[in-house]
Chains A and B, each alone.
Chain A
Amino acid sequence: MRLDPILSKATVGSAGETGSWRNFRPVVEAEKCSGCKECFYYCPEGVIEVKGVARIDYRFCKGCGVCREVCRQKAIVMVQEE
């Protein structure tokens, strides 16, 4: 029996490269970042990795701006995409 039509497989980017949805790009100012992980916990997309400082995977970041809002150090700025 052909199962493909009813089963789906786990895939990064199930909705494509969602970074293309972005109007504003969150940029981490590394010198201000304390590495507290607040942005990591709240990022809806799960595209922030914190190893010392926060790093954002722009391939999938949709640019919602939640990370900037929750950052206690105000270390993230939103920059208009070209």
Chain B
Amino acid sequence: MILPGNASCQGCPIAMAMRCLDEIENPVLVIPAGCSTVIAGLHPKSAMKCPVVHVPFASTHSVACGLSEAYRKLGVDATIVAWMGDGAADIGFATLSASATRKDDILTVVVDNEAYMNTGTQASLSTFWKAKTTTSPTGKTEEKRNLALVMLAHKVDYVATASVGYIRDLRRKFRTAGKKDGFRFIHVHTPCPPGWRFPSEKTVEVARKAVMSGAWILWEYDGKLRISPPSEKYADKSKRIPLKEYLNQGRFAHLSDEDVKEIERKIDEEWDLLLKFS
């Protein structure tokens, strides 16, 4: 769906994920402000081979809902994809929650690069604890919100996490969700080279190390919660790679050994919580 020669940065994980939209039939994209707005093309050009409706930040799910309701009423077959960053998920959270509660017929994709990248890497609710951003210059003091679990609590039909480091798993989840009806939510981990300060060729490596260290857990819920195959073995703590290998990014360069231990503890907690649902 995305055409080459677009405005994404070198090694952009969002562009990588956008290519996976090929798995979805008849998509109509709703894109709020963010990196994706720019990647999808500046007027008079569009980088997408499908309709894109650009919308203000907090209106992603209301506009998506309107499209979906209208297509249903008018008998038009389409898959509405609300494609948003973690920033839009922050500012549009009430609307996202309402849409999920109504079970609107929308496939939501949150491409999470853990900060407001398009405005210059300011901290978001998704920013990792201690990560340096331009509004947390000595490291963020709050923890990352687990958005996918919050969405699971809405009792929707499909919730999954994914990563650009495991593109076949991501494509499969897009394909699975694309074939379902109702409210579907996919939270994609998208490590950002300029924002996280690592070289552009390392996008996939960093994404994989997040999974291999247990810091990002791939799972899928479709009535039952299952850890996805790439993450399965990391339920066993001893199988995980040293966390420091994942944290080898500019935004974490200042971490002390105690900080790393604390993050390990938080990761263990996250696994414990998630496994209770599985």
Contacts and interface: CB of A to CB of B under 8 A. Distances in A.
Nearest to A65: B201
A47 to B, nearest CB: 5
Contact of A9 (B10, B11, B45, B171): B45
Contacts, number: 112
A62 to B, nearest CB: 5
Contacts of A62: 10
A45 B204 CA distance: 14
B262 to A, nearest CB: 30
Given A44-B11, A65-B11, A14 B46 contact: yes
Contacts of B44: 4, 7-9
B45 A11 contact: yes
A14 B3 contact: yes
The 8 A-B residue pairs whose C-beta atoms are closest, nearest first, are A65-B201, A13-B5, A64-B11, A64-B10, A15-B7, A14-B45, A60-B4, A44-B15
B202 A14 contact: no
A44 B167 contact: no
A41 B5 contact: no
Binding site of A, secondary structure by majority: helix, strand, loop or mixed?
loop
Contacts of B5: 12-18, 45, 59-60
B6 A66 contact: no
A41 B200 contact: no
Interface string B47-59: 1110000000000
Interface of B: 2-8, 10-13, 15-16, 19, 41-49, 164, 167-168, 171, 193, 199-205
Given A9-B46, A46-B19, A64-B11, A15 B6 contact: yes
B4 A12 contact: yes
Contacts of A63: 10
B4 A42 contact: no
B17 to A, nearest CB: 9
A45 B203 CA distance: 13
A45 B15 contact: yes
B201 A69 contact: yes
A79 to B, nearest CB: 14
Given A59-B5, A60-B5, A62-B10, A11 B204 contact: no
Contacts of A18: 4-6
B3 A66 contact: no
Contacts of A5: 43
A1 interface: no
Given A13-B3, A15-B7, 13 more contacts: A8-B42, A11-B46, A14-B45, A14-B46, A15-B6, A17-B5, A41-B167, A44-B15, A45-B8, A46-B2, A46-B15, A66-B11, A69-B202
Nearest to A22: B10
Nearest to A4: B44
A36 to B, nearest CB: 12
